[in-house]
Chain A
Amino acid sequence: MWGILDIRIRILIVFGIIFLLPFFHNLETFLVILGLSFVLLFISGINIKSFFRSFTYIVPFLLIPLLLVPFYNSGYTRAFIIILKFVISYMLLYILIFNSSESEMLYGLRKLGFPKIFIDIMSIFFRYIDLLTDKSKRKLIAQKSRLFELRSILKRKNSYSLSAVITSLLMDSFNRTERIYIAMLSRGYKGELYYKDFKKLNGRDVTVLFMFVIFLVFLFILDRRGVIL
Chain B
Amino acid sequence: MNAVEIRNLSFAYNQNYVLDDITLEVKKGSKLAILGPNGAGKTTLILHMNGILKPKSGEVRIFGEIPDKKEVRRRVGIVFQDPDDQVFLKTVFEDVAFGLFNLGMTSAQVEESVCRILKELRIEHLKDRNTFKLSYGQKKKVALAGVLVMEPDIIILDEPTAFLDPSGQDDMLRIIDKMNEEGKTIIMTTHDMDLAAEWADEVVILKDGKVLVKDEKRILTDKKLMQKAGLRLPKISELFYDFCHKERIPLTLQEGIITLKEMVER
* A contacts, CB < 8 Å to B: 102-103, 123-124, 126-128, 130-131, 134, 176, 179-180, 182-190, 193-197
Q: Establish whether residues A186 and B89, one from each chain, have CB atoms under 8 Å apart when the complex forms.
A: no
Q: Is the CB of A179 within 8 A of B80?
A: yes
Per a CB cutoff under 8 Å, which of A103, A180, A188, A197 touches B88?
A180
Q: Which residues of the partner chain A approach B99 to less than 8 Å between Cβ atoms?
A: 187-188
Selected from B84, B94, B97, the residue in CB contact (under 8 A) with A131 is B84
Whether A180 contacts B85 in the complex (CB less than 8 A), given A187-B147, A188-B74, A189-B102, comes out as yes
Q: Is the contact region of chain A dominated by helix, strand, or loop, or is it mixed? A: helix
B90/A102 in contact, CB under 8 A:
yes
B107 and A186 contacting across the interface, CB-CB below 8 Å: no
Kindly state the separation between the CA atoms of A185 and B74 in the bound complex, as whole angstroms: 11
Which residues of B, 66-100, contact A by the 8 Å Cβ criterion?
A: 70, 73-74, 77-78, 80, 82, 84-86, 88-91, 93-94, 97-99
Beyond A102-B90, A184-B88, 6 additional pairs, beta carbon < 8 A: A131-B132, A180-B88, A185-B73, A187-B98, A187-B146, A188-B74
B163 at interface (Cβ–Cβ under 8 A)?
no
Report the separation of the CA atoms of residues A203 and B135 in the bound assembly, to the nearest whole angstrom: 42
Taken together as a complex, chains A and B put the C-alpha atoms of A184 and B70 apart, in Å, by: 13
Question: Are the CB atoms of B80 and A183 closer together than 8 Å?
Answer: yes
Check B84–A187 contact: CB distance below 8 A.
Answer: no
A179 touches B94 (CB 8 A): no
Q: Which of A102, A183, A184, A194 has the most CB of B within 10 A?
A: A183
Choose among B85, B97, B102 the residue that contacts A176 (Cβ–Cβ < 8 A): B85
Rounded to whole Å, the gap between the CB of A198 and the closest CB of chain B is: 9
A123 and B132 contacting across the interface, CB-CB below 8 Å: no
Is A187 a contact partner of B97 (Cβ separation < 8 A)?
Answer: no
Tell me whether B50 is interfacial, beta carbon within 8 Å: yes
Q: Are A128 and B88 in contact (CB under 8 A)?
A: yes
Say yes or no for B52: interface residue by CB 8 A criterion.
yes
Q: Do B94 and A183 touch (CB < 8 A)?
A: no
How many angstroms from the CA of A182 to the CA of B101 in the assembled complex? 17
Residue in A closest to B107 when the chains form the complex, CB atoms: A197
B88 touching A130 by the CB < 8 A rule?
no
CA distance A127 to B94 in the complex (A): 11
